[in-house]
Amino acid sequence: MNRRGFAQSVGGAVALSALAHSTAWGESSSETPGKIMAIAAHPGDGLFTMGATLAQQISRGGTGLLLSLSLGEKGAPKDIPVQRYGEMQRTATEKAAHLLGTEALFLSYPDAEIPFNQESTLAVSDVIREHKPDVIVTHWSGSWHKDHQNCHLIVRDAVFYAALETLVRRGPAHSVSKVFYADNWEDGANFVPDTYLNIEAIYDKWMQACDFYPMWRGQTGFFRYNDYYSSLSVMRGCLSGFKRAVALMSDAAQRTVRSRSL
Ligand SMILES: [Zn+2]
């Protein structure tokens, strides 16, 4: 394949070493990495599909924060009570976040019952106002999992509420510059990545962080998370010219290119 063919196969995507908070439209170079917040329905999603992005951002001088809307406690195997498994998930997430140099926050919605309503949207909006991220990474909408779908919708509206000056809450309004969607095996319907992040430098640390979860090693279910996400990083790397990469899909609103000529 020639270079033009390769570029076409990647679909004109941009390849980055960090997510900048103030890059020009369509520009592929990145400036100083900003503060990134990953918002996940379950802690495993946060680490397995957004953890490398957080780690990369931090390694480039940015800061990160992981917000889980639930503890993912209902993924408990038969021999572990649900509540105890939830605490194991919390401990694993705190250890993983510490290793990656980020902070872990939790909301207390029950796993498999995360509601999409005014209360949950305002709760996430308040966290955004308090922590003021430049960039948010969350679930794509094309998921079979209702918690993931609801998380996507909650974040969409929470970003709007966070920026709405006339909505009076305890924290001042805050505008998020960019929203990206993570590459998740459960959220694959119509997921079309357009941004590839080079994760070679932090790959080993990210793998170590994921390994705090029994689920990562296939101890709680059938899915081979470790094989899937480590292989995916190679595949995404092949498509972007990096050894290992994560692919992200940018929100439609930030895909507009303003140009005087082509
Ligand atoms: Zn999940």
Q: What's the full length of the chain, in residues? A: 262
Return residues with CB closer than 5 A to ligand 1 (ion): 41-42, 45
For residues 89-96, give the mean pLDDT: 98
Q: Residue 66 belongs to what H/E stretch?
A: strand 63-68
CA distances 179 to 29, 39, 42, 126, 222, Å, are 18, 11, 19, 17, 31
Please tell me the distance between residue 7's alpha carbon and the centre of ligand 1 in angstroms.
32
Residue 27 confidence (pLDDT) above 50: no
Tens of pLDDT, residue by residue over 115-145, are 999 999 999 999 999 999 999 999 999 999 9
The pLDDT confidence band at residue 11, using thresholds 50, 70 and 90, is low
Please tell me the distance between residue 183's alpha carbon and the centre of ligand 1 in angstroms.
12
Q: Quick check: 55 and 238 in contact, CB under 8 A?
A: no
Please tell me the distance between residue 46's alpha carbon and the centre of ligand 1 in angstroms.
8
What pLDDT score was predicted for residue 208?
98
Please tell me the distance between residue 224's alpha carbon and the centre of ligand 1 in angstroms.
14
The pLDDT confidence band at residue 21, using thresholds 50, 70 and 90, is low
Helix intervals (H) in the chain = 3-10, 43-59, 82-100, 118-131, 146-163, 203-210, 225-240
- For the entire predicted model, the pTM comes to 0.91
Tens of pLDDT, residue by residue over 220-240, are 888 999 999 999 999 999 999
Q: Give the span between the Cα atoms of 260 and 184, in whole angstroms.
A: 37
Tokens at residue 162, please?
Answer: 């966070």
Q: Give the span between the Cα atoms of 121 and 248, in whole angstroms.
A: 23
One DSSP character per residue, 199-219 reads -GGGHHHHHHHHTTSGGGGTS
Please tell me the distance between residue 45's alpha carbon and the centre of ligand 1 in angstroms.
5
Please tell me the distance between residue 81's alpha carbon and the centre of ligand 1 in angstroms.
19
